[in-house]
Amino acid sequence: TKRRIILRNLFEEVAATEKNEKWTNIIKREKELYKRNNDIRSEIERDYTRIIHSTAYRRMKHKTQVFFSPENDHICTRIEHVTYVESISHTIAKYLGLNIDLTKAIATAHDLGHAPFGHEGERVLSKISQRDLEEKFWHEKNGLDFVDKIELLEDNLKNEQNLNLTYGVRDGIISHCGEIDENALFPREECIDLKEYKYPNQYAPYTWEGCVVKVSDKISYIGRDIEDAITVGILDKHLSELYKILRSDHDEVINNTIIINNLIKDLCQNSSPEKGLCFSDEMFNLMNELKKFNYEYIYLSDRLRPSSRYFDLVLNEIYNTLKNTYDGENTLDKIHKMKNFYPDILNNFEEWLSRYWTFERKQGANNEVLFDITNENDYSKAIIYYISGMTDKFAVEMYNKIIGF
């Protein structure tokens, strides 16, 4: 249609390209990557491949999205959610004329910092962190810490280095946080030090591409969480209300693709650089109604409470077991002594920690020293990072070995 032709590529002039005055900031890195003479990738494309080669990315296939269901192949996991966000943001960015390589890299990395067991696991770690470190744990900040400090890749000299992603991708990771409560999303102008982030949603993303990923994240989980809830039977008593919200007949199918398609199409047809990324009032109200429905009947469902209590038990037991090895200057000796009781988790934890501590470093570790394990706060922080990188399966396995004989 004429309207469709007019709106396509409407954001081309503000896209993250060399023509954009922000471009130098978008592609800057804290440290130069090693060079290859035959590399045909752009800086953003190098980011993408570094992300998918990281262990944090691979582990997302065994991390909960909403429903803890490790035996059900048809329930959405964290990595599927990431794939949906990448697909949605690609569709929106391509239609609007934005940089699809940048949205792809941000979307693929946006949940690298998620704890095991989804947002319930995040809640448990945040409670521990507030108690012992007086600071909240939030997965967007943890994701930035992971790509900046924790995740390591071997360089061409076999030295382990941090991912060292571009500013535009790093900003997109920490800036995807927070709900969209107002029907317009604009990027910020300032290239701030990302360490200035103190709480979720404090700043808007630096790029339009980051804004696209932020809104795509919301589009993705609203539809898929409903589909999964229908699959597991949680919504059996509430389907009539859902049909009413969607203004659908009871013989019509309710699934993820239909909900997503309607939201994407509406966003693309109503957004402009002047108005921001926005939905029609009708669709924005629908999204808010669906969000409210999800919270009331899915996320706060009585059916999920037993698993929440279990996650609390598992993560606290792992944390307490590791924290009990702290003994100031004698911490390393105590770790070795307690291996008699907990060999699996303490061997794994020591091997992980050896990349980042002040003691003898793991061979090839060329990254920043992060922890003085004689310092109690450092030790607590290291344990939280370690646990946050676990898959659901590994956390459960370690818990079972801790309580077993």
Condensed to tens digits (0 to 9), the pLDDT of residues 215-269 reads 999 998 887 888 888 888 888 888 888 888 887 655 555 666 788 888 999 999 9
Each of the 405 residues of the chain gets a pLDDT tens digit; together they read 444 445 689 999 999 999 999 999 999 999 888 777 777 889 999 999 999 999 999 999 999 888 787 667 777 889 999 999 999 999 999 999 999 999 999 999 999 999 999 999 999 999 999 999 999 999 999 999 999 999 999 887 778 889 999 999 999 999 998 666 567 899 999 999 999 999 999 999 999 999 999 999 999 888 788 888 888 888 888 888 888 888 765 555 566 678 888 899 999 999 999 999 999 999 999 888 998 999 999 888 888 899 999 999 999 999 999 999 999 999 999 999 999 999 999 999 999 999 998 776 666 666 788 999 999 999 999 999 999 999 999 999 999 999 997
Distance CA 292, CA 307 (A): 22
Report pLDDT for 2.
45
Residue located via tokens 């966003």: 267
What's the Cα-to-Cα distance from 42 to each of 39, 45, 291, 321, rounded to whole Å?
A: 8, 5, 38, 45
Assign residue 201 a region (left: φ > 0; alpha: ψ between -120 and 50; beta: otherwise): left
Angle at 216 (CA atoms; ends 214, 222), nearest 5 degrees: 110
Q: In this predicted structure, what is the pLDDT of residue 222?
A: 84
Cα(275)–Cα(203) distance, rounded to whole angstroms? Answer: 18
pTM of the model: 0.93
Residue 278, judged by CB atoms within 10 A of its CB (0-12, 13-18, 19+), counts as buried
From CA 380, how far away is CA 375, in angstroms rounded?
9
